[in-house]
Amino acid sequence: MKVYVEKVRLEKGLSLSELSRKSGVAKSHISNIECGLKYPTLPTLCKIANALGVPASELFSCDDERS
């Protein structure tokens, strides 16, 4: 599974700090998700998706078709 938080965050013009503030998720945790070191739980994914204004399904893919 691939998580696309960084791609969407950059498309929205948000810094890690801004996304952290808007979502209530620690900046270090978001960074770990973006680097592929951690996978978000469903509640965390929903918080991030809400802060980005996108459906949670837009933030991940089960294959590598999205680029």
Domain of 25: which CATH number?
A: 1.10.260.40
Rounded Cα distance, 48 and 44, in Å: 6
Q: What is the pLDDT of residue 65?
A: 55
Residue 39 lies in a domain: yes
Q: Give the CA radius of gyration of the chain.
A: 11
Residue 16 lies in a domain: yes
Residue 67 lies in a domain: no
Q: What is the pLDDT of residue 63?
A: 64
Q: What is the pLDDT of residue 43?
A: 97
Residue 31 lies in a domain: yes
Rounded Cα distance, 45 and 47, in Å: 5
Q: What SS3 class is residue 64? A: coil
Residue-wise pLDDT tens digits, 27-58: 999 999 999 999 999 999 999 999 999 999 99
Return mean pLDDT, the chain. Answer: 91
Q: Model pTM?
A: 0.87
- The letter for the amino acid at 57 is S
